[in-house]
Amino acid sequence: MTLPSHAQYVVIGGGIIGCSTAYHLARGHKADVVLLEQNKLTSGSTWHAAGLVGQLRSSASITQVLKYSVDLYKRLDEETGLATGWKMTGCLRLATNEDRWTEFKRLATTAQSFGMEMHLVSPDEVKKMWPLMDVSDLVGASWLPTDGQASPSDIAQSLAKGARMHGAKIVEGCRVEGFDIKDGRVTAIRTSQGVIACETVINCGGQWARQIGALAGVSVPLQPVKHQYIITEKVEGLSPDAATLRDPDRRTYFKEEVGGLVFGGYEPNPIPWTTGDVPGDFEFQLFEDDWDHFEQHMGEALARVPALAKTGIKKMINGPESFTPDGNFILGQAPELKNFYVGAGFNAFGIASGGGAGWVLAEWAAKGEAPMDLWVVDIRRFSDLHKDRAWTCERTLEAYGKHYTVAFPHEEYQSGRPRIVSPLYERLKGLNACFGSKLGWERPNWFAPAGVEPKDVYSMGRQNWFASVGEEHRAVRERAGLFDQSSFAKYELKGRDAAEAISFIAANRVARGPGKLTYTQMLNSRGGIECDLTVAQLAEDHFYIVTGTGFRTHDFAWIREHIRPGLDAALTDVTEQWGTLSLMGPASRAILAAVTDGDVGNAAFPFGAVREITIAGSRVRALRVTYVGELGWELHVPISATGAVFDALMAAGAAHGIAPAGYRAIESLRLEKGYRAWGADITPNDSPFHAGLGWAVKLKSNEDFIGRAATEAIASRPLVKMLAGFTTEREDVVLAGRETILRDGQFAGYLTSGGYGYTIGRPIGYGYVRNPAGVDERNLTDASYELVVANDVVKAHIHLRPLHDSAGLRIKS
């Protein structure tokens, strides 16, 4: 087909993701779509993908995306006349140790929470389902009957035909060579066949997505990795309906294919292809067989399926797959350009994701915002750090190696560290800090006692830091704690119209005059929470905005893109200019007063205020705010002065029993107080009214703001869900989130976060209690509750007020 001169949407890449996106744009949005493929459809990695289709993930939204894929593959052949090869075989996942079995019990609970069918079965039952398997080392297995397998090329070709049927144009042999960009938008694409003007670009270029993005100044952090599997001759006794099999403790997977088996795995020592550009002519190509590297999988496969020892091998497939630094794929609007979207980096489950990923990507591009909470795959979870190809490669190889390892709670990546450190890094190491990493920043998670190595020891139960975090927690509740939160993302909004600009974006009243600090959400058009942050007004035309470390790229882009055209308001990222020390606890005022001549009394410095004070000779932005439920201040210090201020506070606090504290103590403290965590308790799926944050929405004012109409509608009718706190009667339960909530014995929702409250001495969880007929405080409390924790039913109590208060504590003025 000849290249058209113009299109509403141009999709780049003819693999399963590109074909799915074009199909959904054309079918669902009646859009003018052109798909460009540099070679032939499916010629990148789609054609050699193994084709396993699993659905359950730890995110409800991503599980929904994968379930959509299965539903699409079931019906697509009826629409297009081209078979997809879909076969619902079900999937067995094997457990050979107690940690894995606990993980599966937790996954079974997650499946129940997400409305998926999953069963835990015994070794004897596994043997009956898969007679050729050696089950002598099994503890048990999980069984997901609706999982299956499909033919990747057939699905892609069926989607391509469906796209054409609905008016999409597909141009093969058309390589993207550059972009014309004006005012932060792509206006045209330069290709080997000419120029095509467009309104929106969607980069589904697979392993080429990184270099396609680079042509437009867009960072797409992925790494091609060599992935091998074997196709065998016919295996005697193998059923054609044999379940797909994942054997994570042996790092291998199996699926039936034409009477034989396809098997491969995820090794701890993966081989990257290149950190440079992928050749454009790598079409329907593979690498040379690497039997030495594959030998580790061969041995494990033979041990699991002994019949393979007498089975011939047809061929080995050794091809590149695109992986990402955190094992999640990449979707969404690029932060660098207003009309450039990405769907790439599918970590070898692009076939399972393809149908649903194309659906949500089409919705996202058509409407300008994600159709649901897709934060775990949002391209805006990355930062400038990920532009470093060497670092991205190193971290991605670690993520690949963890593909089948036990997913322990709180587990940290180790590669590429330390990368970004605050000025306090060496001081905190000297205080026996155990660090974690967030968006490249080293942050103290907890502090080990003297003589104890500051190192996490992972387990599925309580971990080795439990008691130490309890001591930090108590210090903050009873005395004072000092946290290094320098990794906070920080922006300044300045200009004549800054107040007007931020007032339209924020759901709360943030332009309340200099010296005022406001906690606010920023909402999408559905009234869902896109950002959760604090805004300090420093002057009539100057605002200082603070948000979480991991949300730096996302929140900056959201604010910048929603400043209305024509306003004099400029947003600047100043994260590295300011260190942040959070001084919290009942003794914090006395400690702060000892190091500054500023008046920090409640009358002069009330809650929700920002003042400039001097500490250790430096001017400090002091924000009276708390995320732990105690009197306290965030002290934003010029970065070079952070060490001197820290030393002054620790010296003055010695008489008051001050203690350094880490992020795990923050989590415990905030759970007791009932503070919400964005990305867990509050997401783009949740309104402030559902989350108990309606008090922070300015509906009583006449001010317009993004999401106002949707929020008014939500507030005017019965709520279908409400966030509540839960404690368990059993003190030894470990809550991690996704546990099922039972109300009077019936499913009512699931936990969004969980942990332990050391002051109240109980596990704590938060989650939405749901009822389509409506929920309110009265009918929520007029019921009995249980939580399903790793498949065990545990008695629980609901709380609609902060547990901090029920423990007899109050925020001191």
Strands in 273-403 per DSSP E? 313-323, 330-333, 340-344
Q: What pLDDT is stored for residue 52 in this prediction?
A: 84
Residue 807 pLDDT greater than 90, yes or no: no
How much is the pLDDT for 484? 98
**64 and 191 together in one domain:** yes
Given this model, what pLDDT does residue 350 score?
A: 85
Does residue 95 sit in the same domain as residue 117? Answer: yes
Check if the beta carbon of residue 39 is closer than 8 Å to that of residue 173: yes
Counts of helices then strands in the chain (DSSP H, E): 19, 38
Mean pLDDT of the chain: 96
Last residue of a domain, one of 360, 381, 402: 381
Please determine, for residue 44, whether its predicted confidence score (pLDDT) is greater than 70.
Answer: yes
Last residue of a domain, one of 535, 551, 576: 576
Residue 50 has pLDDT above 90, yes or no: no
What gap in Å lies between CA 530 and CA 601, rounded to an integer? 35
List the beta strands (DSSP E) in 339-399.
340-344
Residues 282 and 303 in one domain: yes
| 31 CB-contact burial (10 Å; exposed 0-12 / middle 13-18 / buried 19+) | buried
Check whether residue 806 and residue 724 sit in a common domain: yes
Taking 60 as the threshold, does the pLDDT of residue 808 lie above it?
no
Residue 557 inside a domain? The answer is yes
710-735 tens-digit pLDDT: 999 999 999 999 999 999 999 999 99
Same-domain check for residues 264 and 335: no
Least confident of 211-220, 342-351, 502-511, 562-571: 342-351
Q: Which residue has the tokens 């035309």?
A: 541
Are 168 and 61 found together in one domain? yes
Q: Does 282 share its domain with 374?
A: no
Do 363 and 371 touch, CB atoms closer than 8 A? yes
Question: Which pLDDT value is given to residue 57?
Answer: 87
User: Is 646 domain-assigned?
Assistant: no
Structure tokens of 488? 């906070």
pLDDT in tens, 243-276: 999 999 999 999 999 999 999 999 999 999 998 9
Segment 453-476 shows an average pLDDT of: 98
Give me the pLDDT at residue 805, please. Answer: 63
CB neighbour class for 732 (10 Å; exposed up to 12, middle 13-18, buried from 19):
exposed
Q: Is residue 780 part of a domain?
A: yes
In a domain, 625, yes or no: no
* pLDDT tens per residue across span 519-566: 999 999 999 999 999 999 999 999 999 999 999 999 999 999 999 999
| Segment (H or E) for 204 | none
- Give the CA radius of gyration of the chain: 27
Kindly report the three-state secondary structure assignment for every residue of 708-738.
HHHHHHHHCCCEEEEEEEEEECCCCCCCCCC
The tokens for 377 are 């795959």
Candidate from 38-52, 63-77, 135-149, 647-661 with smallest mean pLDDT: 38-52
Residue 607 has pLDDT above 50, yes or no: yes
**Which CATH number belongs to the domain containing residue 291 in this structure?**
3.30.9.10
Residue 791: partners with Cβ closer than 8 Å, 6 or more residues away:
105, 108, 109, 120
Average pLDDT, integer, range 642-659: 98
**Window from 39-43, 568-572, 804-808 with minimum mean pLDDT:** 804-808
CA angle 254, 42, 17 (to 5 degrees): 85
Residues 371 and 514 in one domain: no
Burial class (CB in 10 A: 0-12, 13-18, 19+), 525: middle
Whether residue 466 is contained in a domain is answered as: no
**DSSP label at residue 2:** P
- Single out the residue of 366, 375, 298 nearest to residue 65, CA to CA: 375
- pLDDT of 806 reads 44
Residue 812 has pLDDT above 70, yes or no: no
Structure tokens at 668: 């415990």
Coil, strand or helix at 413: coil
Residue 272: cis peptide before it, omega within 30 degrees of 0:
no
Residue 19 belongs to domain with CATH number? 3.50.50.60
Q: Say whether pLDDT at 358 is over 50.
A: yes
Is residue 25's pLDDT more than 80?
yes
CATH code, domain with 780: 2.40.30.110
Distance, in Å, from the CA atom of 755 to the CA atom of 671, rounded to the nearest integer, reads 7
Share of the chain above pLDDT 90, in %: 94
Residue 607 located in a structural domain: no
Residue 641 and residue 751: Cα distance in Å, rounded? 41
CA–CA gap between residue 411 and residue 389 (Å, rounded): 24
Cβ contact 230:300 at 8 Å: no
- Both 359 and 253 in one domain: the answer is no
**94-122 burial string, b = 16+ CB within 10 Å, else e?**
bbbeebbbbbbbbbbbbbbbbebebebbe
Question: Does the pLDDT value for residue 810 go beyond 80?
Answer: no
Of 555, 576, 597, the one marking the end of a domain is: 576
Tell me what the mean pLDDT of segment 574-600 comes to: 97
Residue 660 lies in a domain: no
In percent, the amount of the chain with pLDDT more than 70 equals 99
> Does one domain contain both 271 and 207?
no
The DSSP secondary structure of 133-181, one letter per residue, reads S--TT-SEEEEETT-EE--HHHHHHHHHHHHHHTT-EEEES--EEEEEE
Task: Note the Cα 53 to chain centre separation in Å.
Answer: 21
439 inside domain: no
Cβ-contact 226, 318 below 8 angstroms: yes
**How many distinct structural domains can be found in the chain?**
4
Give 136's contacts (C-beta < 8 A, 6+ positions apart): 123
Tokens 């387990």 sit on residue: 459
Nearest to 576 by CA among 502, 639, 645, 661: 639
* Residue range(s) defining the domain that contains residue 538: 489-576
pLDDT for res 326: 96
Q: How confident is the model over 791-801, as pLDDT tens digits?
A: 999 999 999 99
Q: Is 285 found in the same domain as 250?
A: yes
Same domain for 254 and 213?
A: no
Q: β-strand 632-638 against 618-623: which pairing, if any?
A: antiparallel
Quickly count: other Cβ atoms within 10 Å of residue 509's Cβ: 18
Q: Which residues contact 541 (CB under 8 A, 6 or more apart)?
A: 494, 495, 496, 498, 499
How distant, in Å, are the alpha carbons of 318, 353, 371, 428 from that of 365? 34, 18, 10, 45
Instruction: Identify the three-state secondary structure at position 461.
Output: coil
Kindly report the pTM of this predicted structure. Answer: 0.96
CATH number for the domain that contains residue 560: 3.30.70.1400
pLDDT digits (tens, 9 = 90+) for 360-415: 999 999 999 999 999 999 999 999 999 999 999 999 999 999 999 999 999 999 99
Element (H, E) at 249: none
The tokens for 780 are 């929520």
What is the DSSP pairing of strand 252-257 with strand 313-323? unpaired
**What is the pLDDT, as a whole number, of residue 73?**
94
